[in-house]
Amino acid sequence: MTAYIIRRFLYAIPILIGVNIVTFLLFFTVNTPDDMARMHLGLKRVTPEAIEKWKQERGYDKPVVFNTAAPGLARLTETIFFEKSLRMFVFDFGAADDGRDIAREIRTRMWPSLAVALPVFLVGLAVYITFALMVAFFRATYIDFWGVVLCVAMMSISAMFYIIGGQYLVSKLLHLVPISGFQGGVDAVKFLALPVAIGIVSGLGGSARLYRTFFLEEISKDYVRTARAKGLSEAAVLFRHVLKNAMIPILTGAVVAIPLLFMGSLITESFFGIPGLGSYTIDAIRSQDFGVVRSMVFIGSLLYIVGLLLTDISYTLVDPRVRFE
Amino acid sequence: MAFLPVMLWTDWLVWLLVAAIACFAFYVRRHEHLVEPWRRVLRSPSGMTSLVILVIFIVIGLLDSVHFRPRLAGQPAGAKAAYAVDVLSLLDVVCEPLRLRREKTYSAPLATHLFAKETMDLSDGRQVRDYPRLRHGGAHLKNPETDFAPDVSRRAVWGFAAGLVAWIVLATLIAAILAHRHGTGINETWRAVWRGETEVPWRAILTTLLVLLAVAGMAIALAAKYHLLGTDKVGQDVFYQALKSVRTGLVIGTLTTLVMLPFAIALGIIAGYFGGIIDDVIQYVYTTLNSIPGVLLIAAAVLMMQVYIDTHPALFSTSAERADLRLLCLCVILGVTTWTGLCRLLRGETLKLRNLEYIQAAQALGVRNPGILARHILPNVTHIVLIAVVMEFSGLVLAEAVLSYVGVGVDPSTVSFGTMINSARLEMAREPMVWWSLAAAFVFMFLMVLPANLFADAVRDAFDPRVRSARPLALLPRTAA
């Protein structure tokens, strides 16, 4: 199994390099640094000196991939590609437009993100599975039918409606929790309750419906018929046999999302004013801070690839039928 | 000419899509085995109800996809024609009163007065602070306090009645056609429809039409003299904006899949069929693209596109063209991030098909690879493509709103659900709240996405052989235990 994990790990490296190249192409070949500078400084009446200064401040004044002016190895290292793209592999992201170190910002901001995303993930998983199991238990009855209708209706509502509606109802009308903001320590509960609840509710429709199909697929298998033929009660069949087997696709599907929990959610964090990575990204997009966006793309991909790796490993852990080949 | 026709990029693609769908329908009609699954869709009440609602949206969207520039008035005859800068659509012409009747700023739905108090000069020189009357909304009322309620209810009743009459005419027409086709009497047909005994669920369709026509009648009757859904910050009618947003939503939901489809199909089939190093390369490409979180890739790509558009202003002659190109770019970018899923599905299916006897027989008979791909593989994966296209639609409409909020969506000058929500969001803190823009955007979006989801389910149930075979077992009554 160690060999298998090592092989999966090695397989992730070329993908990460691919991501790095894609981001590089996207940020430095579609537009030249001059274009970006002109855009940033305002389109009209930009002097060439101002552009040069802008590029120099951000380290964009070097050749893109090959520096003919530099000696020796510096021909490759004194370039935008090396400075801006390859450096990301050692988590050196440089400074944001406001002068702060991006890597440091990421390290401090990922905890508030996690504080929202982790409860949403864990409690959500429990809620969705319970709901789906209930609907599957009452399959082919009105409860099943209306359960699915509820899921489809909830899927059709914009995530922003849940947030705006929730803020209006809970914070503005009932005054239960503050509308937005964040604080460390015990006070955090007050600020996190609403975003977490809304995160769970807005994911209910899609996830519960998906999990229901997993359960129904298991229910139609032969071993379930055998279990019933042995005389087991429907509840025993469902909870002891079906639940266990249906957990395989559910868990492996969920594992890939675990590392991404650090990234937080863009709109939730922005609406609730939580100083996490999601709101950091939104602010960067709005102020066109290309350095931050580029770093977030890289970090997000990295976390996703780690998630894929974890998924592969978790497969082998929960399902003994999977061999390490 | 009184106008200059303008074909925006997305217009071309929208009409191309319409033509493609028409050709596909024509092709399907002549092949019995292809018609069969569509019959199953036709028999599904939820699917057909949703289709009726979707057709209304599609008609609005198509009306909004015929663009032109009107000729400027007041020019001497014989002079070289000069055309207005703003690009109008047929929908703008239909809704001309809605578009032109602008107020000063916010007003609530069906209001007769502005939302905010203003200082006004009375005729005798005194100044008062009060809610001023609207320029257009309810301007025909002499005394709003007493006339308002009777006028609104009278209009609503008349609109409802008009909708009812339209429905009766339409229903009779449908029944007559059905009776003619089946060779039965019209009374019998009515009875069959009423009892839900027809093959196509006409009862459900007619009920939907009744509700739609009644609501539409009331809406038209009220919108003629009032702002049905209020006005926004710059005094534009929210109802008109909601209607305009429909096209943006439809364009994003359909063109995105249209632009990504060729890549996904070609690469997926080729990877699955040839295997080996080709498969490895294609798998590597889509795994890499898939590894970048969707929103971030879109954000990065849109930011770069924005820089390009802003630094090359000379490429666009009107602002509508610029906004339109941005919309198209957004579709392409969304397509790049969403094609990987379909590509993987197609690869897997082709992998399965490749080893079946009939493909081997074709290979043994000397059919070349392109022939096998086009004639034997492609037709057998169409159902996957179709299911993916309809399933994708609703997600894309919802994604547009989120992206516009993040700031990487459509051009701010394009009316869309996202821009409506985005501009109304800031007014949430106002007391009392300005809720109508938000409500209109969310309700219209819901009305579009829910039928799309239900229709997608109906299509999937009809086309996916796995669902079909799993169904009888899954629907076994519980008492079997």
What's at A175, amino acid-wise? H
Q: Tell me whether residues B406 and A285 touch, CB distance under 8 A.
A: yes
Q: Taking the CB of residue A11, how many other CB atoms lie within 10 A of it?
A: 15
B125 backbone φψ class: left, alpha, beta (φ>0; ψ -120 to 50): left
* A positions 214-243 inside 8 Å of B (CB): 216-217, 219-220, 228, 233-234, 237
Question: How much is the pLDDT for B277?
Answer: 92
Question: How much is the pLDDT for B16?
Answer: 92
**Chain B partners of A293 at a C-beta cutoff of 8 Å?**
296, 299-300, 303
**What values do phi and psi take at A46, rounded to 5?**
-105, 125
Alpha-carbon torsion, ordered B14, B17, B22, B28, to 10 deg: -160
Q: Taking the CB of residue B151, how many other CB atoms lie within 10 A of it?
A: 18
Q: Tell me whether residues B304 and A31 touch, CB distance under 8 A.
A: yes
**Chain A partners of B474 at a C-beta cutoff of 8 Å?**
139-140, 216, 219-220
Which tokens sit at A98? 């406001």
CA atoms within 13 A on the CB side of A24: 18
What's at B102, amino acid-wise? R
Q: Can you tell me the distance from the alpha carbon of B320 to that of B413, in angstroms, rounded to the nearest whole number?
A: 8
Question: How much is the pLDDT for A48?
Answer: 79
* A positions 149-178 inside 8 Å of B (CB): 152-153, 155-161, 164, 167-168, 172
Partnered with residue B127 across adjacent β-strands are: B121
- Identify the three-state secondary structure at position A65: coil
Q: Can you tell me the distance from the alpha carbon of B368 to that of A227, in angstroms, rounded to the nearest whole number?
A: 51
Question: How much is the pLDDT for B188?
Answer: 83
Instruction: For A230, name the nearest residue in chain B, comparing CA atoms only.
Output: B481
What's at B304, amino acid-wise? M
Q: Tell me whether residues A15 and B297 touch, CB distance under 8 A.
A: no
**Chain A partners of B284 at a C-beta cutoff of 8 Å?**
14-15, 18
Nearest partner of A299 among A84, A153, A155, A88, judged by Cα: A88
Provide the 8-state DSSP code for A95: B
Question: How much is the pLDDT for B164?
Answer: 94
What does DSSP say about strands B3-6 and B88-89: parallel, antiparallel, or unpaired? unpaired
Residues 6 or more apart whose CB falls under 8 angstroms from that of B425 comprise: A164, B405, B438
| Ranges of chain B whose pLDDT falls below 50 | 468-481
Asked whether A297 and A18 are in contact (CB, 8 A), the reply is: no
Which tokens sit at A60? 């964009």
Question: How much is the pLDDT for B76?
Answer: 65
Nearest partner of B108 among B221, B228, B240, judged by Cα: B228
The Cα of B468 is separated from the nearest Cα of chain A by a number of Å equal to: 12
**Chain A partners of B296 at a C-beta cutoff of 8 Å?**
281, 293, 296-297, 300
Question: How much is the pLDDT for B1?
Answer: 62
Asked whether B390 and B459 are in contact (CB, 8 A), the reply is: yes
| Ranges of chain A whose pLDDT falls below 70 | 43-44, 75-76, 322-325
Burial A172-195 (b: 16+ CB within 10 A, else e): eeeeebbbbebeeeeeeeebbebb
Q: Can you tell me the distance from the alpha carbon of B168 to that of B214, in angstroms, rounded to the nearest whole number?
A: 11
Q: Can you tell me the distance from the alpha carbon of B132 to that of B119, in angstroms, rounded to the nearest whole number?
A: 9
pLDDT in tens, A120-156: 999 999 999 999 999 988 888 888 889 998 999 999 9
| Integer CA distances (angstroms), A171 to A154, A166, A193, A196, in order | 22, 8, 11, 14
pLDDT in tens, B228-248: 888 888 888 889 989 999 999
Q: What is the pTM of this model?
A: 0.88
Work out the angle between the directed axes of helices B45-63 and B238-274 (0-180°, nearest 10): 110
CA atoms within 13 A on the CB side of B479: 1
Q: Which residue has the tokens 């630094």?
A: B311
Partnered with residue B107 across adjacent β-strands are: B231
Question: How much is the pLDDT for A47?
Answer: 78
**What values do phi and psi take at B119, rounded to 5?**
-85, 125
Which tokens sit at B130? 């009060």
Q: Tell me whether residues A140 and B475 touch, CB distance under 8 A.
A: yes
The Cα of A20 is separated from the nearest Cα of chain B by a number of Å equal to: 10
Q: Tell me whether residues B296 and A300 touch, CB distance under 8 A.
A: yes
